[in-house]
Amino acid sequence: MPREVAIVGAGIVGLATAHHLLEEGWRVRLIERGGIAEGASLGNAGALAFTDVLPLASPGILRKAPRWMLDPLGPLALPPAYLPRIAPWLVRFWRASLPDRHAHATQVQSGLMRLAAQAMAAMVESAGLTERLRHDGNLELYESEADLAAAGPGWAAREREGIAFEHVQADRLAELQPGLSPRFVAGTFTPNWMTVDDPHRFALALHAVVAAKGATLTRGEVRDIAPAGEGVRLTLSDGTSLSAEACVLATGAWSRDLARRLGDSVPLDTERGYNTTLPPGAFPLRRQLTFGGHGFVVTPLATGIRVGGAVEFGGLHRPPNFARADAMLRKAAAFLPGLDTAGGRQWMGFRPSLPDSLPVIGPSRASPRVIYAFGHGHLGLTQSAGTGRIVADLLAGRASGVDVAALRAGRFG
CB 322 within 8 A of CB 357: no
What's the rounded Cα separation, in Å, for the pair 26 and 1? Answer: 9
The CATH number of the domain where 262 resides is what?
3.50.50.60
Within a domain: residue 104? Answer: yes
Please tell me the predicted confidence (pLDDT) of residue 370: 97
Question: 3-class SS at 354?
Answer: coil
User: Mean pLDDT throughout 177-188?
Assistant: 97
pLDDT, tens digit (0-9, with 9 covering 90-100), for 118-128: 999 999 999 99
Residue 237 CB neighbours (<10 A): 11
Burial of 131 (0-12, 13-18, 19+ CB in 10 A): exposed
Least confident of 29-33, 55-59, 96-100, 300-304: 55-59
Cβ within 8 Å of residue 398, ≥6 positions away: none
User: Mean pLDDT throughout 199-221?
Assistant: 97
Within a domain: residue 150? Answer: no
Within a domain: residue 386? Answer: yes
* Strand blocks (E) in 138-185: 138-142, 166-169
How many structural domains compose the chain? Answer: 1
What's the rounded Cα separation, in Å, for the pair 271 and 257? Answer: 17
Within a domain: residue 212? Answer: yes
Residue 318 has pLDDT above 60, yes or no: yes
User: Mean pLDDT throughout 382-392?
Assistant: 98
Please tell me the predicted confidence (pLDDT) of residue 77: 84
For all residues of the chain together, what is the average pLDDT?
94
Please tell me the predicted confidence (pLDDT) of residue 2: 64
Residue 269 has pLDDT above 70, yes or no: yes
pLDDT, tens digit (0-9, with 9 covering 90-100), for 217-229: 999 999 999 999 8
Please tell me the predicted confidence (pLDDT) of residue 406: 96
Residue 182 CB neighbours (<10 A): 6
Residue 10 has pLDDT above 80, yes or no: yes
Residue 1 has pLDDT above 60, yes or no: no
Within a domain: residue 201? Answer: yes
Within a domain: residue 205? Answer: yes
Please tell me the predicted confidence (pLDDT) of residue 413: 78
User: Mean pLDDT throughout 81-100?
Assistant: 91
Please tell me the predicted confidence (pLDDT) of residue 64: 72
Residue 126 CB neighbours (<10 A): 13
CB 339 within 8 A of CB 333: yes
Within a domain: residue 303? Answer: no
Please tell me the predicted confidence (pLDDT) of residue 56: 86
Residue 268 has pLDDT above 70, yes or no: yes
pLDDT band at residue 70 under the 50/70/90 scheme: low
Cβ within 8 Å of residue 179, ≥6 positions away: 283, 284, 336, 337, 338
248 forms beta bridges with 7, 371
pLDDT, tens digit (0-9, with 9 covering 90-100), for 229-248: 889 999 999 999 999 999 99
Structural domain of residue 118, as residue ranges? 1-58+99-132+194-267+354-413
User: Mean pLDDT throughout 136-151?
Assistant: 96
Question: 3-class SS at 410?
Answer: helix
Within a domain: residue 311? Answer: no
Kindly compute the dihedral angle of the four CA atoms of residues 105, 106, 109, 115, in this order, to the nearest 10 degrees: -140
DSSP classification of residue 56: S
